[in-house]
Structure 1
Amino acid sequence: MLLAAGGEGDLLFNKAASAVCATLMVCRERGFAEVEIESNAQGLIRMLNEEYVIDATLECLLHDIRVLASQVGRVSFVFVKRKGNVAAHAVASHVTLKRGSFCWDAHGPEFLFNILAEDVNIPIRI
């Protein structure tokens, strides 16, 4: 269940890493113990899963992500193609545009309703 998101950053490649970092900060603040981070930034996910050599320009940010992940608890980093991850992409775009962190209960933000309804083939629209 998607309950929180965060994001900020200006550099193209750093945006995904900054969003992961911001999301982990929200998760730590909210006391989440188990988190799955999904991203379509395959290189970043591979670096975080230690499957790929770390890009030197991201080394400090990746270190921060690992420190935050250790403070949250159980964190997994998963690559998902953008086409198969429409809801997460919409949330990432929203939090990056608004520059901040957001948390919600099981009802979620209104802009996500139609995306999630379509994901599970429900013909209801708001």
Structure 2
Amino acid sequence: MEYVKEYTVKPEHIDVQGIMDGLFYPFYMEYCRHEFIKDVLGFSLEEEAEKGINMVLSQYTINFLRSLKKDDTFTVTCELFADKSDKPQIHFEQKIILNNKVVTKAVFTGTCVPATGGRPYLPDSIKEKLKGAPVLDK
């Protein structure tokens, strides 16, 4: 299932070249991913943190294909993937799309850790959502 949100480039995200600074692409992906985590996975980052469960990123890869400019309205997608090696992690494949063309694509990998320290794990509620998810083959 592909989750989609729409955003507009903020003027303060534009660099001296007239394009969006590369640091902000992952932020827009994060906005979409956090909404996906809450809306689709039913996992509230804030509520779970209060319970001592932190969802964190362990890695990401990002490819920049085109640039966004001031006032561009674009979509960000988010899709959930299970881990092929059965590690306690989840993968989010994301794209930024402008005028039906992929601008940026990325894979973000995350897991949960106890706020007090300890080994990574996935709560049962997230494991349940992963049952029907495709496996990331990368």
**TM-score normalized by the length of structure 1:** 0.27
The structure that is strand-richer by fraction is 2
Structure with higher helix content: 1
TM-score using structure 2 length = 0.26
